[in-house]
Amino acid sequence: MAAYDIRVFGDPVLKRVAEDVTDIDGDLVDVCNRMLDAMYEAPGIGLAAPQVGISRRFFVFDFGAGPDVLINPVITEFDGEWEMDEGCLSVPGLSWTITRPKRIHIVGYDIDGNERTIEADELEARLYQHELDHLDGKLLLEYLDDDQVKEAKRILRERLLASGAAPQRSGGLQLP
């Protein structure tokens, strides 16, 4: 089975608030494996379901400790501040220094339906916060100032034109 295509900025599914997963079953295992294939191929260290067009609350990740998934995640505690140069597979090739909490406590479920509770720091904490934003329909651009957003949209628009992937609608490009 082919890996999923990763949706990029401009796709409305990325702005939608995803719904809770209600069934943790074999179908979800297959979906997670296909998402992991797409994530490793990209390559990236995390991929949220909306990024492959599935508006459900889960994400796959591997920050060096092996492939994993977190389902219906909720962050229950934040602490400190940490700056990091952060990018996103849905905003390809761009990154910005973004400050977020340094440590978090996150809870959710694993692929067997067991409860997980994780204390995370630095890169691991950043990854979970980034992926959780995707589940809430938020992209990195929401952390930027107006000039940075303008510049990012200009670059993304130019790339889209250069790739010949611009939509052939009479209204032209539909970047928000």
Q: Residues interacting with Zn ion, by CB under 5 A?
A: 88
Q: In sequence order, what DSSP letters do the residues of 82-146 get, joined into one string?
A: EEEEEEETTEEEEEEEEEE-SEEEEEEE-TTS-EEEEEEEHHHHHHHHHHHHHHTT--GGGGS-H
Q: Shortest gap between Cβ of 52 and Zn ion (angstroms)?
A: 12
Given the residues 41, 83, 131, 142, the one annotated as active site: 131
Q: How far apart are CA 149 and CA 115, in angstroms?
A: 38
Q: Which is nearer to Zn ion, 24 or 60 (CB)?
A: 60
**Known catalytic membership, residue 119:** no
Q: Shortest gap between Cβ of 139 and Zn ion (angstroms)?
A: 7
Q: Shortest gap between Cβ of 73 and Zn ion (angstroms)?
A: 14
Q: Shortest gap between Cβ of 50 and Zn ion (angstroms)?
A: 9
Q: Which is nearer to Zn ion, 88 or 106 (CB)?
A: 88
Instruction: Yes or no: say if 83 and 98 are a contact pair by the CB < 8 Å rule.
Output: yes
Residue 43 preceded by cis peptide, ω within 30: yes
At 79, is the secondary structure helix, strand, or coil? strand
Q: How far apart are CA 171 and CA 176, in angstroms?
A: 13
Q: Which is nearer to Zn ion, 36 or 88 (CB)?
A: 88
Which amino acid belongs to residue 154?
R
Spell out the long-range contacts of 114-121 with Cβ–Cβ below 8 A and sequence spacing 24 or more: 116/70, 118/70
Residues with a catalytic annotation lie at 131
